[in-house]
Chain A
Amino acid sequence: MPFFKVKKYASFLFILFLGIGPVSAHVGSSGVLFQGQAGKYRVLVSLQPPDVIPGTAQVTVYVETGNVKTVMARPIYFRTGAEGAPSADELMPVLNQKGQFQGIVWLMASGATSVQLTLEGDEGISELVVPVVAISTAERSMPNGLGIMLSLLALLLVVLLVTAIGASASDGLLKAGIGLTPKQRRARWLNMALATAACTLILYGGSSWWDSWRDDYRKYAYKPLEGTTKVISKEGERVFQLKIDTASFVKQRQRTTLSFLIPDHGKLMHLFLVRQNTLDAFAHLHPERRDTTTFEAFLPKLPAGKYLVYADIVQRSGFTETITDTLEIPAFYGKALLKTDPEDTYVVTDPLNNPKVVPVDENVVICGKPGTKTMLKDGSSVVWESKSDAAFETGKPYQLSFEVFDPEGKAAILEPYLGMNGHAAIVKSDGSVYVHLHPVGTYSMAAQQSMQSRIDDTTRIYRYSNDTKAFRDSIDRYISYLKSIPPTERDALLMNSMTGHDMKGMEHKNRIEFPYAFPKAGQYRIFLQVKRNGQVLTGIFDANVTNASL
């Protein structure tokens, strides 16, 4: 199969030169928000994937600029590409909502997939790809009322069948006008008993069959990748270590999938550590791969305590995953001078609901609220543009916009950080919601790039290489190359790879916008990260989210 071989290596090289963007993995909120430019049209796409596969994804398109007349949508899977995608269906305009289109897309199989949108309007035809991961995570139960109704109907059927069989063995054999003999009466009862037994057996068989399907579904339902984290000592320093648990997924998935990880923002893994409950200590690290399942990073000067761990990875297909755990970090020792990655950062702040207790540390930032100005470490400041008493509602897409000012109060000049002009991590107070956001939305840009290259490739079915080592090594070489070049050069390389977004126009703006919809009510903390004068700065904000008013 020389044809496939050529394609295989071509896609290999493609990743190497492309660099590929970030991951936006998440916990607790499966919806995808995508903000970007489709040709001349600026759109915000909200995509709610189904929690049971096969199922339908809800797609809503908000056209922000441009006059779009029709929007078509179709699912494109990584394995089968654009050639293996059905023709598109139209998303219908929402009544009385100008520039808003809504519809569904069927996702028939699990895996890395995407929704391709075709917009047609005054500015011609434009296309756009929103990556999404199709997985079964939920188990539906039958509504009680329906269950009772169906049981009663089934009981009626059984009674009818038993009676009919009893009658057919007795009354059915009689000529008109003749009564049953005692022997025939006995035969009727005997047949009814046999019929009851047969019906019970059939019902039992049906129930076993149903249960076996349920077990099958459970077996193949998506289970998040699991890992165990701990702090070890190396060179007299505290070192974070994550070991991905392969035993848990080896039964249903190929062991090799971990060999097909691709970098996102030039890093193989993005690790976020947040101190549990108080959310007053935060680190964004980039562990290095020691072997296929082991990742390690030097810990910065984080205070001791129990931390929530979120580790994001992306697979070749664009399948994104977040490994979660909790980790007990011991009291600080060593010098904390060693960094695994020059772009590893940490910050401490005041505890949630206890703003007076400001810790003493070289990396302290006071947590801000909507509408307030917050000082950053180097004297510059961030303003969250919002009303100060703003309460956010669940499920509504918001533009979280931040403006950064230099110490003189003028608009700050932002440098790209990991190839983007800003990053944000949002964590809910109980740790049940976590998302790594970019100004373009809540989706994985690595996944989007992967999907875009897959669409441009006309191979009908993508075949994974058997040579996992070659793939892994090529990725490792690429990452160490990225690490070896100066930061400005690296960011230029990463930014160039992000085609299809208006990143370049935003390069020197001091305003950053993140589209996000809070999935559930509660307290959230937003960790905003920007780069100025070669220094990564973290701003922290609290947000209160209430249930959407109906």
Chain B
Amino acid sequence: MADRSPRRLTALVGLLVLALFLLPWVVGRYSVYLAIQILILSVFSLGFNLLFGYTGLLSFGQAGFFGIGAYACAKILLAVPNLFLGLGGGVAAAGVAAVVLGFLSVRHTRIYFSMLTLAFGMMVFSIAWKWRDFTGGDDGLVGIPRAPLEIPGLWSLSVATQERYYYVVLVVSLLAIWAMYRLVHSPLGLTLQAIRDSESRAEFAGVPVRTYRLIAFTIAGLYAGLAGALLTPLENTVTPPIAHWSTSAEPVLATLLGGVHVFGGPIVGAFLFFMLKDIIVRFTQYWLIWLGAIVVALVMGFRGGVASIFARR
């Protein structure tokens, strides 16, 4: 995965980041809302692809952690309106769940692993749906405040407007993207890729494969939880469908669209995802069938995603 022209790429990324910071000044309210959604899906998908593209593990249950992050953030913000706590708590809750469920799942072969992730993801959905007393059941939790960033007694910054919240999501997302970039180019990233290419060879290179798979799974869970926690203050409500397998399909499609084996693939894919969804939803309420059709088309003919177009130079 070597960059052909690192300088050019860095400049491009720099320009893009600048553009993102200027965005609310240039476009309207709806576009900013869309941009927030794209950033959230980017974070969600980067975590997914750490597991899939880099470690070779296909998870159909990431929405479970997304949901846990969202619900945890909601419960915290309803009790203590502090955004730092809400986000941190969401990430932590998702992380703990990922360690537990990951421990049960990573010791298995890849097909089995995928089956288990689907099952566990839906388990989270079922709990969210049935545990009325805690999660509000199918009505969900409402009236969640877009709480301020606050260090109690010292400093407080309101992020109640969508514009301000956009900047919160932007900064957090950029940090998350940067961290993931460093991670995949680190020895840990190399180890995960080796495990993807040949588990047995990695074992004989001295790598405890299961442990590293669990690490990857946990990080993916943390990213999913962060994405979910970022969503809660945006929408001010949380309902069970965010943990449903159809939500798990979103990072899958975004990653396939953008390119599985390219770092920026999931981010490009997140952008394309929302562009496509925006168009399709204007014509029909049946969005899932199109999502499915696109997945099928990509798998049958276009497995490299958009990135593969650029790679054929």
A and B interact: no
Chain B residues at the A interface, C-beta cutoff of 8 Å: none
Chain A residues at the B interface, C-beta cutoff of 8 Å: none
